[in-house]
Amino acid sequence: MPQSPTPIHDSVRRHYAAQARSKQSCCGGENNLYPAELIETLPDDIRGFSLGCGNPLAAAGLQPGETVLDLGSGGGLDCFLAARQVSESGRVIGVDMTAEMLARARASAARLGIANVEFREGHLESLPLEAGSVNVVISNCVINLSPDKPRVFREVFRVLKPGGRLAVSDTVTDGPLPESVRQDMEAWGGCVAGALEAGEYKAGLAAAGFTDVSIRPREEDHKDSCCQPESLVYSALITARKPA
């Protein structure tokens, strides 16, 4: 069933449409989330445009020939890096709900001449993919933006092949956020208001059917990340597997 946009979706879309029209990421032109050698060959405006909070590819273990789905693909950086790792025999699909982000990502893919990447418009809660069609799902600081995370987890489980895996960077919390933050639309767009407690995140993935769920904080101090103004919120690398 297609997702009906909520006020949170609309607010987040406006926030990221404005980001897509800008020339820099939320952290400025510097991108310290990835090893320099991984992004150094990309043009400055592509490698410097990241709205993420980590490097999901570090845990994805991508292999040539695999099909990868990127949730909330934004400007396309993680898709372009994944496309290299799965090689020409593999495929990468980015899904995003913001038209301006999709336009930016598609233009960058054409400019880079990357043929094994495509970008589709859609919501995380109703993914435009067939069941059992991808090997790996990645995402970078996007699942926290959804107002219905259990539905997202179920959708990810649905589109993964048996034995498929999830590797995402996302924001989580050490405890409950103040209700004033939860109701702040700007804090939703800033990757704060929608963050789940780590235990709730893990339980949500397990309830959707995932096994081997792991949530590990980034090694860097979370205060260095542009997306976490609240001390309770930190960036984590989250992995899980769909049973074979």
Give the domains, in start order, of the chain with CATH numbers: 7-241 (3.40.50.150)
Lookup: tokens for 55: 């490097």
Instruction: Show pLDDT as tens, one digit a residue, over the chain (244 residues).
Output: 556 678 888 877 787 778 888 755 544 456 788 998 999 999 999 998 888 999 999 999 999 999 999 999 999 999 999 999 999 999 999 999 999 999 999 999 999 999 999 999 999 999 999 999 999 999 999 999 899 999 999 999 999 999 999 999 999 998 888 788 877 777 667 778 788 999 999 999 999 999 999 999 986 544 444 444 445 899 999 999 999 9
- The reported pLDDT for the residue numbered 226 is 47
Query: What is the pTM (predicted TM-score) of this model?
Result: 0.90
- The reported pLDDT for the residue numbered 224 is 42
What does 145-186 look like in DSSP terms, one character per residue? G-S-HHHHHHHHHHHEEEEEEEEEEEEEESSPPPHHHHT-HH
- The reported pLDDT for the residue numbered 43 is 93
- The reported pLDDT for the residue numbered 7 is 82
Cα–Cα distance, 213 to 178 (Å, whole number) = 27
Cα–Cα distance, 179 to 61 (Å, whole number) = 38
- The reported pLDDT for the residue numbered 170 is 95
CA distances from 233 to 88, 129, 203 (A): 38, 31, 18
Q: Which of 56, 242, 76, 72 is nearest to 159 (CA)?
A: 242
Task: Name residues whose C-beta falls within 8 Å of residue 40's C-beta, 6 or more positions apart in sequence.
Answer: 47
**Beta partners for residue 237, in sequence order:** 169, 216
